[in-house]
């Protein structure tokens, strides 16, 4: 119920054609968090389990944390490269015509 009230308050001052975009942008962190937390946790768990038979539990956990953090960093750099590639540069404003 709080989400509905939040979206209503967020979009109340916007034009109708802008409300959908504002509502979607406000929900993006929730959707990213739904993937961004379990993904690295799965990597940490898998890498720790793989290292568990060859090292101590502390070092296995540290190896899992290293793998998860490295993967998250690579994803962030990849997202940055995609954003820089896909963002269009603003076209320069046209110069006013000379007065005749």
Q: What pTM value is reported for the model?
A: 0.61
The 3-state DSSP class for residue 56 equals coil
Question: For residues 100 and 98, what is the distance between their CA atoms, to the nearest angstrom?
Answer: 6
pLDDT at 100: 61
Question: For residues 45 and 63, what is the distance between their CA atoms, to the nearest angstrom?
Answer: 10
pLDDT at 7: 78
pLDDT at 93: 67
The 3-state DSSP class for residue 94 equals coil
pLDDT at 61: 95
pLDDT tens-place values along the chain, 100 residues long: 777 787 788 888 888 888 888 888 888 877 777 878 889 999 999 999 999 999 999 999 999 999 999 999 999 999 899 888 888 766 666 777 776 6
Question: For residues 95 and 98, what is the distance between their CA atoms, to the nearest angstrom?
Answer: 9
pLDDT at 45: 95
Q: Which two tokens stand for residue 12?
A: 């109340």
């Amino acid at each position: 119920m709080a989400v509905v009230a939040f979206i209503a308050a967020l979009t109340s001052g916007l034009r109708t054609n802008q409300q959908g975009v504002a509502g979607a942008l406000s929900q993006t962190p929730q959707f990213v968090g739904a993937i961004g937390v379990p993904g690295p946790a799965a990597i940490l768990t898998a890498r720790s389990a793989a290292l568990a038979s060859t090292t101590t539990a502390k070092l296995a956990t540290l190896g899992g944390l290293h793998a998860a953090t490295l993967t998250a960093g690579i994803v962030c750099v990849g997202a940055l490269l995609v954003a820089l590639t896909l963002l269009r540069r603003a076209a320069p404003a046209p110069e006013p015509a000379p007065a005749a």
